């Protein structure tokens, strides 16, 4: 049986708290776990500011806000990781690029679309950092991009899950 852990943003908002997550999981080492991690504390709010500035066509402001988020996550990874830092940094940079491609464009769709595209980066960033740290402290895990498993409709910010697709994908993973 798989044990599921969900750690909220406050649980992963500092180097010390991420280490505490590892301490909690250490006693379940070797057992099948599913670990769900929220965006680091206050990251969702910060990404909402990015989305708002972008949609208001304040591109420089949106990029400046996003740069602060980037630096916070890179700094956390730098203080947390030794052997896995470069791999983590590369993964984070891929996620940064996804958002920046969007921010270098002009909004042509509704706000809710951009909100979903930008704000989801918070969980991608935090899960990448935590996954690399857990592997570094010998809590072997595989980071999975949930976007490959859970499919939703295009009712942005209030999407419905495509349960058939999601069921098939989740049983394969």
Domains and CATH numbers, the chain: 3-142 (3.40.1160.10)
The per-residue pLDDT for range 36-74, each reduced to its tens digit, is 999 999 999 999 999 999 999 999 999 999 999 999 999
Tell me the β-bridge partners of 4.
34
Contacts of 139 (CB under 8 A, 6+ apart): 22, 25, 26, 29
**Exposed e or buried b for every residue in 3-25, given b needs 16+ CB within 10 A?**
eeeebebebbbebeebeebbeeb
The per-residue pLDDT for range 85-143, each reduced to its tens digit, is 999 999 999 999 999 999 999 999 999 999 999 999 999 999 999 999 999 999 999 99
44 CB-side CA count, 13 A = 12
């Amino acid at each position: 049986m798989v044990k599921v852990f969900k750690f909220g943003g406050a649980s992963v908002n500092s180097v010390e708290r991420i280490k505490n997550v590892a301490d909690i999981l250490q006693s379940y080492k070797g057992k099948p776990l599913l670990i769900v991690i929220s965006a680091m504390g206050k990251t969702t709010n910060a990404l909402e500011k990015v989305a708002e500035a972008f949609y208001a066509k304040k591109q420089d402001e949106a990029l400046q806000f996003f740069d602060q988020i980037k630096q916070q996550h890179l700094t956390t990874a730098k203080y947390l990781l030794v052997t896995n830092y470069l791999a983590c940094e590369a993964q984070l940079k891929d996620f940064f690029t996804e958002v920046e491609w969007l921010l270098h464009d002009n909004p042509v769709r509704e706000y809710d679309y951009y909100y979903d595209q930008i704000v989801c980066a918070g969980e991608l960033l935090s899960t990448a950092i935590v996954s690399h740290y857990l592997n570094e402290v010998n809590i072997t895990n595989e980071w999975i991009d949930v976007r490959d498993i859970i499919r939703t409709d295009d009712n942005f910010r209030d999407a419905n899950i495509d349960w058939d697709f999601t069921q098939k994908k989740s049983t394969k993973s």
